[in-house]
Amino acid sequence: MILALPAVALFAVFTAWPIGELLLLSMQRTDFTAREWVGLANYTALATDAAFLRAMANSAAYVVLLVAGQVGLALLLALLAWDAPPKWRSFARIAFYVPTLAAGAISAQSWRWVFSHGGPANWLLSMLGVAPVAWFSDAVPAIPVLAVILSLSVAGLYLVMLLAASASIDKGILEAARMDGASRRVVTTRIVLPSLMPTVALCATLAAIAAPQVFETVSFLAPYEHAATLAFAAYSEAFRFSRHGSAAAMAVVLFVLTAVLTAVKERVARAE
């Protein structure tokens, strides 16, 4: 019991106490100069808060697009590379994983230039006779473009996980299929792909957990309500509009959503 005290103390100070403070703050109306207890009023107000509802809808869109983009791209690359020579598999892992290590702010600045008025994206459109597009000024181009950026930035992480899973497939089964005359396409679709599905489910759950928490890319490229995630909406509510109680309520909703998805992830991981 004594040996567990440092861990318990750290948990209490850095996890339990901040969560308790967040819950307490979410039931107050405050700008930190004065506090007024309002109970669940901040939560009930979220039901009619246009910014919150828009952020929830945006977060749902990000979940769908990022799960499809990040996991779909990683799965496609894994299916192409699963039987490549070891040196090429290592190259693929490094080439696609290194971009995930770049700081979000640095990556966002690079993409800002790509999608700027005179950037490569609009230059390509001009070559096709299409007028320049303000990519981040409205939700229709902004959310899909941000999803593409995030997919390209993070897919490498899931590729590493899928390649590791493909390496654990029983080599005897693969050799038996080849001896029976199965083509690479048949082996990939009938053996490799089904074997990767538990890891695909895990990757999809991780992508769904991360989607509502996207912050840096949105704040640098499209810091507007029409592209806001739940995390960015809570930040704006607190630090742009000084409605800290409402922001705390949004953060609690995000915490609960993350906890539910994390529980799903743990069940998926156990099933794998």
| Domain limits, the chain | 47-271
Is it the case that residue 34 has pLDDT exceeding 90? no
Q: Is 28 helix (H, G, I), strand (E, B) or coil?
A: strand
pLDDT of residue 60: 93
CB neighbourhood size of 34 (10 A): 8
Report the alpha-carbon distance of residue 105 to residue 108 in Å, rounded. Answer: 5
Q: Is 36 helix (H, G, I), strand (E, B) or coil?
A: strand
- What mean pLDDT comes out for the span 94-106? 77
- The identity of residue 93, as a single letter, is R
- From the options 3.40.640.10, 3.30.1700.10, 1.10.3720.10, 3.40.605.10, give the CATH code of 47-271: 1.10.3720.10
> What pLDDT digit, counting tens, does each position of 125-181 carry?
888 888 888 888 877 788 999 999 999 888 889 999 998 898 888 888 888 888 888
Report the alpha-carbon distance of residue 16 to residue 6 in Å, rounded. Answer: 14
Tokens of 165: 């899973």
pLDDT of residue 251: 92
Exposed/middle/buried for residue 136 (C-beta within 10 Å: 0-12, 13-18, 19+): buried
In Å, what is the CA distance from 140 to each residue of 26, 111, 144, 178?
A: 32, 18, 7, 47
Query: Whole-model pTM?
Result: 0.86
Is it the case that residue 272 has pLDDT exceeding 60? no
Closest CA to 231 of 249, 210, 254, 248: 254
